[in-house]
């Protein structure tokens, strides 16, 4: 009986061991299910966190795109303004160049007119001086031919005639000079 007890004890131990194995086997899927549940929950939280992170990144990218579009619009406006300023400056430069060329032409014409007037004045002066010399020579020659008592009287007559002729000659020369200048002044306008 002791042997039976030993065998019965052995069976009992085996049965207990087998029961423990069965219990362990039964609990093992529960642990695995719990473990898988925790893993699934962790994965679900990771997916939610990834989605939120992706949404935040997407919002940031959209904000960056909006800012870049605004910057591009501002840059285009600035370029357009600069282009308009450049066009205005180009137009002003062209007008200034044209005005400068016209001013140079006007100055050349004025210089030519002044030089022409200067030559005419010199010519009138030279003519007047020549006329005075000729008259002085004629006057001296006539005085030598006149007897001495008449010298003073004749000299006064010749002097007044000389002055009168000189004034008439100068007046005619000036009138001719003015007529020429008027004619030349009217020619460029036509």
Assign residue 146 a region: left if phi > 0, alpha if psi is -120 to 50, beta otherwise? Answer: beta
134 or 175: which leads in pLDDT: 134
CA distance readout (Å), 52 to 47, 59, 61, 62, 119: 9, 10, 14, 15, 98
**Residue 69's pLDDT band (boundaries 50, 70, 90)?**
very high
**Residue 9's pLDDT band (boundaries 50, 70, 90)?**
low
123 or 163: which leads in pLDDT: 123
Mean residue pLDDT of the chain comes to 81
Lowest mean pLDDT among 21-35, 75-89, 149-163: 149-163
- Using one digit for the tens of pLDDT, what is the confidence trace for 98-152? 999 999 999 999 999 888 888 888 888 888 778 877 877 877 777 667 666 555 6
- pLDDT the model gives residue 177: 72
The mean pLDDT of 39-45, rounded to a whole number, is 92
- Using one digit for the tens of pLDDT, what is the confidence trace for 74-103? 999 999 999 999 999 999 999 999 999 999
- Residue given tokens 């000036």 in the structure block: 174
pLDDT at 169 over 80: no
Determine the 3-state secondary structure of 179 from DSSP.
helix
Token pair of 62 as six digits: 């959209």
59 or 4: which leads in pLDDT: 59
pTM of the model: 0.40
- pLDDT the model gives residue 150: 57
Q: Are 166 and 132 in contact (CB under 8 A)?
A: yes
37 or 65: which leads in pLDDT: 65
């Amino acid at each position: 009986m002791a042997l039976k007890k030993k065998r019965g004890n052995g069976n009992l131990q085996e049965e207990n061991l087998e029961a423990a194995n069965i219990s362990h086997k039964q609990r093992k899927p529960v642990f695995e299910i719990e473990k898988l549940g925790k893993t699934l929950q962790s994965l679900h939280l990771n997916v939610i966190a990834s989605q939120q992170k992706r949404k935040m990144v997407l919002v940031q990218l959209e904000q960056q795109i909006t800012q870049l579009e605004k910057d591009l619009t501002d840059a285009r406006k600035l370029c357009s303004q600069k282009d308009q300023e450049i066009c205005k400056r180009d137009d002003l430069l062209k007008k200034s160049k044209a005005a400068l060329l016209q001013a140079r032409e006007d100055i050349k014409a004025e210089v030519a007119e002044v030089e022409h007037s200067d030559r005419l004045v010199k010519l009138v002066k030279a003519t007047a001086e020549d006329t005075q010399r000729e008259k002085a020579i004629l006057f001296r020659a006539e005085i030598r031919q006149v007897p001495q008592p008449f010298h003073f009287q004749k000299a006064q007559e010749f002097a007044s005639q000389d002055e009168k002729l000189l004034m008439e000659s100068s007046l005619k020369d000036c009138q001719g000079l003015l007529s020429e200048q008027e004619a030349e002044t009217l020619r460029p306008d036509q």
